[in-house]
Amino acid sequence: MSVQVVFCTCGGVLAEHLDIEELKSFARETQGVSEIITTDAACTKAMRDDLVEAVSQGSEKLVAFACTRSVCQKPLEAVMEDSGLDPENLVIVNAKEQLAWVHPDRGEATLKAKMLLKASIEKAISVSPTETVSFERTQAALIVGAGIAGLTAASQLIDMGVKVHVIERRPAIGGAMPLISKTFPEEDCTMCLRGPHMISMLTKPGITYHVNSEVKDVERTPKGFKVTYTKAPLDLDLEPKKGKGSPVEAITVPSAGPQEYKLIYSSEPDKEALEAVTESKCGSCTSLFPAALMVHEEKPGDKTIEVGSVILATGFKDFDPTGIPKWGYGLPDVITQYQLARLMDPIGPTGGRVLRPSDAGTPDRIVMIQCVGSRDPEYNRDCSKYCCMAAIKHATVIKKFKNPGAEITILFRDIRASGYGFEAMYNEAKELGVNFAHGDIMSVSSHGDALGIEYTDGMGEPQSLDADMVVLSTGMEPSEGSTELAELFNVELADSGFMKEVDEKVANITTRAPGVFIAGTCTGPKNIPDSIAQAGAAAYMSGSHLSIDVEKKANHPVVIEDNCGRCGICRSVCPYEAITIPEDEYPQFDAELCQSCGLCVSSCPTHALETPNYGYNLIDAQVEAILEEKGDQPLIMGFCCDDCGYNLLDTAGFTGKTYTSGFIPVYVNCMSNLSLRNVLNAVRRGADAVMLVGCVKDRCHFLKGTERSKGQMQIIEELFKMTGVKTPIKILESSGTMVTQFLEALGELEAMVKEA
Amino acid sequence: MARILLIGLAGDSGCQVAALGLHEALVDILVANELIYAPTLLDTKEIPDDIDVAIVEGGIRNTHEEEIIKEIREKAKIVIALGACAAFGGIPGLANLRHGKELMNEIYNNHRGTDRGTIPTHLESLPEQHPIKHFVKVDYIIPGCPPEVTDIAYTLTSLLSGNEPEYNRTQVCEDCPRERLGEYETSLKRIHEEIPDPDRCLLEQGYFCMGPATMGGCGAPCPQSGNTCEGCRGSCLDVDDQGMAMIDAMTGLLTQLKDEFDLNLYSAMLYRFTYAESVISELARRKK
């Protein structure tokens, strides 16, 4: 198989650093090379026609001696296509960012260029184009969290014709919104807005609810995800009692009056609470908490579903001010805005009457304290966005409907009322006589029958107020378990702990995990309309992700049957479960599941597997080609991940760094593909040191690469120590930008080579 | 009528005895051919000329053995390495993990039952144990410790009838009837530490079995009788370092291995028979 070599001069720039003429004659003499072509700029349109003309005359394999693949790969592939050649037959030597720019000595750089050229020619001889297979993604979506965001997305997806699974940790759908009787800015009844929608969602065909369930394990497949969830046993008695539906809410501690408002969920089976539920006289819960309508037939235990895309909409939890003295939470009449919302709910614990928890008396002096757990470096740095309007709404509702004579003071830091209709609502509250005062809270304490609030005003002067009830506007925090969930789906978390988008401005629904989208308050504090808007967008993104077919190279390993004894190690190491070994047959690969990481190839103890374009033999062939050209200078063989490793060396070039030309990279698609036998072969053939450049742990594109090679390195180091082999070997876990660490590690290796 | 030589070098005669265990096949071979040199059977002092097939047991540990193997190679058309010591260095090859002088001192000065203080000088030891291939070209190997009698018979009868013998290229697992479910224990143990499930793959149960990295063809007698494979048949045909092949497999399987894997405990299992021929020992030798 012969190869043509294209030398791109990069407008003459490369010739300033490298002896191009010598390299051309070197290439001409290298076995397997049939044609030498020169162009001034492989990446430009101007040169393109000439290049196509020249390339189409030659053999079907092409080695391009040019610049970084991020610039010239696409244009060169296009040239190959126009020349009637398969673009997979292209091998690029990055002679600029990874050679000319980083090695100032012309002679040294030219020698390294020879090594890279020769290795690339070896590679080009071996590569063989693979077939492309395409298949549909699993036509179903998963939504985690059945709050307003999750349900909105579910509804949209069903309308798009996508089957939807909803996993909800609580026994009922609905989330936080139905527990708040009125919404801002128009004081609408939430259940009037959402109740009918929720009921219709429960009966909509194509949607399957898995309530009382949590995601346990996530496995990625090319078609999407295999998600295993655990459904907990449901201890709650959900049988309708005398036509009164199935309440899920109760006031606990019945003897002490309405002190504590608690939702009853099966995760905390509290006997008293359960009794309170079953004996409750509240009959409206069927609409408020349609748990009774839920399908609870699903048996507890672990189950696995397959989906093509995922929306995480796991919501928020209220900041818990317990135990922080200045806010007085724990005193009987200090409650949160959420608890106040429950009191104001006509079907809540007090039947909609705003009563003091301590004595069920009507509070005439109410003080609301803003920014509890928000905009506070000690707790949460950011603004929780919704609490100003929640306080204004509650104050307005009390003044208008509950207790017009009440004296309400809102102690704020800044009032943020920037949404549609918000300013009008703020003004209305002021007109209704709600007091707004700037106040930084110093303490809330008992003051006789009442509560005393100490604060500093806007001028920094200490002030005090008395109140019958204090309402804390607590901020939003990520809900329990969202860190673990994000980890399972490989979604990043922001410093705040909320789930992180790829970009907060232009890609605020997509995450770094392809096919996983985020919506609602799990991405950060927001109000209902914003959550709903984001959920709609997430539904669209998730649906469109499903509609794009997956295209994939059938580049799975091939089995050398003579060498295979069916030990089954390949099947067990595969991170993608792509290998099966039928009775009395050889291993079979699922082209769809296999990502061609090469872990099975490098783990096969009999060398019975080979990857088409990155295999065990090809690595050895490149190593040997390089070492044949080795001169007096110590040579550090760099086995580099084709992703992060390549980008790292590019970055070193872009940023004007220089390093020893004795470092010669051999790219491996993943460290998973690298066998210790390859490493040892490099040492045996004359490498003075070896450096492995893999991805940062947990960021390996093929799951196991870095971890595996670290295990290998640990053993080889010990084995070298035991046997007295001094060749230094180092592994660098690196992202594409960690140039400083790379240069340091390389420097250390050079020093070790000198010593050894 | 082919002229056959059977000799033992740095070995324990076990393979020569195995060769004699050919029973009826031996009679057939001896009727049709001539055994011209075999210290276990005949009293011959010199290595004869014109050898057709030289069957060599044992590796090379001293200059005397080095000379003999070179002489045999000069005089023989075909050289067969019989058994692990001749083929890979064998168990004595593990001595290469220690310095030669240190070993001599340990054995002849400090070891119980030895004549204390007298280090033999009549033979010049080499610093290391070697497989015979380190000195001469070897035409065929019959691996094993001891080799399978059937392998010996097959190789000899094929060669003597002018046919090229064909060997298994793959692993012991091929013949092992133990069931493989694909699930592995994450902790490693040796066979004496617990009682294994009689039907399940030993490696899957966490027992350090060298079967996957060992050339098959023996019929897996060890795993079938409840023992782990010790690797006596050396590495599979396309692999040049048995221990490394096993480490590659084990690190692929168990990323936890790195914390568990005590090389002092397991190096003699990874390389029980093949250390002297391993790439790692080649590198170590180069540094010395």
- DSSP assignment of B30-58 equals HHHSEEEE-TTTS---SPPSSEEEEEEES
| Residues in chain B closer than 8 A to A677 (CB atoms) | 239-241, 244-245, 248, 279
Per residue in B3-58, pLDDT tens?
999 999 998 889 998 888 888 888 888 888 899 999 888 888 899 999 999 999 99
Considering only CB atoms, A569 lies closest to which of B252, B261, B284, namely B252
Contact A206, A177 (CB under 8 A): no
Q: What is the pLDDT of residue A293?
A: 42
Maximum average pLDDT range among A78-82, A416-420, A522-526: A522-526
The first and second tokens of residue A95, run together, are 């002679």
| pLDDT of A238 above 50 | no
The first and second tokens of residue A299, run together, are 């048996």
State mean pLDDT over A196-208.
77
Instruction: Select the residue from B251, B256, B261 to test the A interface by mutation, using most A Cβ atoms within 10 A.
Output: B251
Distance from CA of B182 to the nearest CA of A (A): 5
Contact A277, A247 (CB under 8 A): yes
| Residues in chain B closer than 8 A to A719 (CB atoms) | 263, 267, 280
The first and second tokens of residue A106, run together, are 């012309």
**Distance, CA of A423 to CA of A419 (rounded, Å):** 8
DSSP sequence for A313-331: ---EEE---TT-GGGTBTB
Considering only CB atoms, B244 lies closest to which of A600, A677, A727, namely A677
Instruction: Select the residue from B248, B255, B263, B271 to test the A interface by mutation, using most A Cβ atoms within 10 A.
Output: B248
Considering only CB atoms, B284 lies closest to which of A602, A707, A724, namely A724
**Distance, CA of A746 to CA of A738 (rounded, Å):** 12
**Residues within 8 A of A (CB atoms), B 236-275 only:** 236-241, 244-249, 251-253, 255, 257-258, 261, 263-264, 267
CB-CB under 8 Å, B236 with A567: no
Per residue in A390-449, pLDDT tens?
999 999 999 998 899 999 999 999 999 988 889 999 999 999 999 999 999 999 999 888
Distance from CA of A671 to the nearest CA of B (A): 11
Q: What is the helix (H) or strand (E) element at residue A339, kind and residue range? A: helix A337-343
CA angle at A475 for the pair A403 and A187, rounded to the nearest 5°:
40
Q: What is the helix (H) or strand (E) element at residue A51, kind and residue range? A: helix A45-57
State mean pLDDT over A482-492.
88
- Domain A134-233+294-319+477-546 belongs to what topology? FAD/NAD(P)-binding domain (3.50.50)
Count other Cβ atoms within 10 Å, centred on residue A721.
11
| pLDDT of A295 above 70 | no
- Domain A614-756 belongs to what topology? Rossmann fold (3.40.50)
Looking at A456-470, B76-90, B102-116, which range is the least confident one? B102-116
**Distance, CA of A383 to CA of A525 (rounded, Å):** 8
A1-128 and A614-756: identical CATH topology: yes
Per residue in A616-671, pLDDT tens?
889 999 999 999 999 889 999 999 998 889 989 998 998 889 999 999 999 998 88
| Residues in chain A closer than 8 A to B241 (CB atoms) | 677, 680
Contact B179, B204 (CB under 8 A): no
Closest residue, chain A, to B250 (C-alpha)? A603
CB-CB under 8 Å, B261 with A715: yes
Distance from CA of B55 to the nearest CA of A (A): 27
**Distance, CA of A745 to CA of A648 (rounded, Å):** 13
Distance from CA of B104 to the nearest CA of A (A): 18
Considering only CB atoms, A606 lies closest to which of B239, B255, B263, namely B239
Instruction: Select the residue from A606, A677, A681, A717 to test the B interface by mutation, using most B Cβ atoms within 10 A.
Output: A606
CB-CB under 8 Å, B169 with A715: no
| Residues in chain B closer than 8 A to A675 (CB atoms) | 244, 248
**Residues within 8 A of A (CB atoms), B 46-105 only:** 97
Looking at A170-179, A260-269, A327-336, A423-432, which range is the least confident one? A260-269
CB-CB under 8 Å, B252 with A677: no
| pLDDT of A244 above 80 | no
Q: What is the pLDDT of residue A432?
A: 95
Distance from CA of A504 to the nearest CA of B (A): 36
Q: What is the helix (H) or strand (E) element at residue A196, kind and residue range? A: helix A190-203
The first and second tokens of residue A103, run together, are 């090695």
State mean pLDDT over A198-211.
80
Nearest to A749 by CA among A705, A692, A706, A694: A692
Q: What is the pLDDT of residue A749?
A: 93
| pLDDT of A263 above 60 | no
State mean pLDDT over A339-364.
80
| Residues in chain B closer than 8 A to A565 (CB atoms) | 170-174, 212, 216, 236
Mean pLDDT across chain A: 84
CA angle at A732 for the pair A729 and A736, rounded to the nearest 5°:
145
Q: What is the pLDDT of residue A199?
A: 65
| Residues in chain B closer than 8 A to A568 (CB atoms) | 173, 180, 182, 201
CB-CB under 8 Å, A572 with B247: no
Q: Is the CB of residue B186 less than 8 Å away from at least one CB of chain A? A: no
3-state helix, strand, coil split of chain B in percent (to 5) is 40, 15, 45
The first and second tokens of residue B46, run together, are 């010199």
**Distance, CA of A338 to CA of A319 (rounded, Å):** 11
Q: What is the pLDDT of residue A176?
A: 81
Q: What is the pLDDT of residue A686?
A: 92
Q: What is the pLDDT of residue A196?
A: 66
Q: Could you tell me what percent of chain B has a pLDDT over 90?
A: 54
Closest residue, chain B, to A597 (C-alpha)? B252
**Distance, CA of A455 to CA of A465 (rounded, Å):** 8
CB-CB under 8 Å, B251 with A677: no
Distance from CA of B39 to the nearest CA of A (A): 36
B111: DSSP letter: S
CB-CB under 8 Å, B170 with A712: no
Considering only CB atoms, B263 lies closest to which of A572, A704, A722, namely A722
Rg (CA), chain A: 33
Q: What is the pLDDT of residue A191?
A: 64
Considering only CB atoms, B252 lies closest to which of A599, A681, A683, namely A599
CB-CB under 8 Å, B284 with A677: no
Delimit the domains of chain A by residue range: 1-128, 134-233+294-319+477-546, 553-610, 614-756
CB-CB under 8 Å, B248 with A677: yes
CB-CB under 8 Å, B236 with A606: yes
CB-CB under 8 Å, A680 with B201: no
Alpha helices in chain B (DSSP H): 14-20, 24-32, 63-75, 83-88, 100-105, 149-160, 221-224, 242-253, 257-260, 263-270, 279-287
Q: State the distance between the two ends of chain B, measured CA to CA, in whole angstroms.
A: 47
Count other Cβ atoms within 10 Å, centred on residue B113.
5
Closest residue, chain B, to A571 (C-alpha)? B182
- Domain A553-610 belongs to what topology? Alpha-Beta Plaits (3.30.70)
Q: Is the dihedral of CA A332, A338, A339, A341 positive or negative?
A: positive
Considering only CB atoms, A606 lies closest to which of B238, B255, B280, namely B238
| pLDDT of B183 above 60 | yes
| Residues in chain B closer than 8 A to A684 (CB atoms) | 279, 282-283
Rg (CA), chain B: 20
| Beta strands, E only, A629-749 | 636-641, 663-668, 689-694, 729-733
Closest residue, chain B, to A565 (C-alpha)? B174
Query: What's A72-97 look like in SS3?
Result: HHHHHHHHHHHCCCCHHHEEEEECHH
Q: Between chain A and chain B, how many beta carbons pairs sit less than 8 Å apart?
A: 143
Closest residue, chain B, to A679 (C-alpha)? B244
Q: Which CATH class is domain A1-128?
A: alpha beta
**Distance, CA of A749 to CA of A746 (rounded, Å):** 5
Query: What confidence category does residue A260 fall into, taking pLDDT thresholds of 50, 70 and 90?
Result: very low
| Residues in chain A closer than 8 A to B173 (CB atoms) | 565-568
Q: Could you tell me what percent of chain A has a pLDDT over 90?
A: 46
| Residues in chain B closer than 8 A to A681 (CB atoms) | 279
CB-CB under 8 Å, A572 with B253: yes
Distance from CA of B52 to the nearest CA of A (A): 31
The model's pTM is 0.70
Looking at A158-167, A189-198, A218-227, B165-174, which range is the least confident one? A189-198
Looking at A48-62, A239-253, B174-188, which range is the least confident one? A239-253
Count Cβ atoms within 10 A of the Cβ of residue A228 and give its class: 0-12 exposed, 13-18 middle, 19 or more buried.
Answer: middle
